[in-house]
Amino acid sequence: TSRYSSLTSLPNELDNLQSLTTFDMSCLTPLPNKLGNFICLTTFDITSCLSFISLQNKLNNFTSLTTLGIGECSKLTSFSNKLGNLP
């Protein structure tokens, strides 16, 4: 997995993805609403995203999520209550 340091938003062409399994683009601000469409997501990494304050309701559709990277997100204070369901 590589990071895309200059990518600040998701291209519209990704809207119809049905099998995205790894998301590691720590530069996106804010997290796009369409992120909830990626229900097959197994790995989600926003490590070092200094601008994110909340993941509330952003991860609710990620029923396949097994790995969540949120280290070094110093402003992050609110999480989805569904995080407790991660394996």
The pLDDT, as a whole number, for residue 64 is 84
The list of the chain residues with pLDDT below 50 reads 1-2
- Residue type at position 38: F
- The pLDDT value given to residue 24: 65
57: left (phi over 0), alpha (psi -120 to 50) or beta: left
How much is the pLDDT for 48? 79
* Ramachandran assignment for 14, one of left (phi > 0), alpha (psi -120 to 50 degrees), beta (any other): alpha
Whether the predicted model's global pTM rises above the 0.95 cut: no
Residue 85 has a pLDDT of 62
Q: With pLDDT > 90 as the criterion, what percentage of the chain qualifies?
A: 0
